[in-house]
Amino acid sequence: MIRVADVTKHPGWLLLEHKRCGNSNTDRIIGGKNASLGAYPWIARIGYGIPGTDEILSYRCGGTLINSLYVVTAAHCVMNLPENFKVSGIRLGEHNTLTDPDCELDYCAEPVQDFVPKSIIAHKDYNKPMFKNDIAIIRLNKPAVYNEFVKPICMMSGELIQKNFIGEMAEVAGWGIYDINDPQSSTILQTIKVPIVKMNRCVQSFKNFAVMSKQHQMCVGGILGEDSCGGDSGGPLMKVQTLDGRTRYYFIGVVSFGAKACGASQTPAIYTKVAAYTTWILEHISP
């Protein structure tokens, strides 16, 4: 196995996009407000349908584009789905769910890009024990076409992959769906800044139904009045960092589970720690 610090030596590292990754197209509006057009061009929407029907897909999870063929999401977004549901589509380049293309003032984005899953790989130890290893990879049926509104996020390596980020702020974004069984959502991409806190906060909050692991999970949010679940389930926890002289967005967590009463309590949320699964990701992608 490749040590965490040596992910750049893994053959899979060469399959990632390192030059065009992590660049936001615009300034961001933070604080539970609408995100600016193109702020997070790596955010994917995962749509569900009922096999054998032509009905419109129901988008109930988020994901993160890591190269032109792969989206990372939570395992619970692809496993043990409600009866008759299946992952049927992945959409990139979305901002306002009611318009295509999306426009702000006189400036318009490229049209959305839609895909179907060619393959879905959930971590083999998902839910062993409960809520652990909540990560999965979806391979798209064709390569995404990069533009200012569709591009991958950067994956961490070196000193970044060793950081715990406790005490620092990160960003989460999505259309506000927190439960795959409850499709209520915002029509416009929302964004919020959230603090990364010590794991003992989550240990206390969720002690009655799950055992936490600071090696594999992150505890995020938990400040009253600051919405700690501003992103779709399965969506990214992101942080602007400087590595090798370049400042870009890096992929640090995947929305896993948390309090339903967003912003109304001091209960933090659990995110899957991407650093702990980077080698797993690299081992499950191919050209």
Catalytic residue among 185, 205, 233, 256: 233
Spatial separation of the C-alpha atoms in residues 135 and 73, rounded to whole Å: 6
Exposed e or buried b for every residue in 34-46, given b needs 16+ CB within 10 A?
A: bbbbbbbbbbbbb
Catalytic residue among 10, 76, 95, 123: 76
Contact 199, 207 (CB under 8 A): no
Contacts of residue 3, Cβ cutoff 8 Å, sequence gap at least 6: none
DSSP tally for the chain: helices H, then strands E: 3, 16
In the residue annotation, 36 being an active-site residue is answered as no
> What would the two tokens of residue 165 be?
């980020």
Catalytic residue among 24, 102, 134, 157: 134
8 three-class SS: helix
> What would the two tokens of residue 72 be?
């990372």
In the residue annotation, 134 being an active-site residue is answered as yes
Question: Residue 214 burial (CB < 10 Å; 0-12/13-18/19+)?
Answer: middle
In the residue annotation, 18 being an active-site residue is answered as no
Catalytic residues: 76, 134, 233
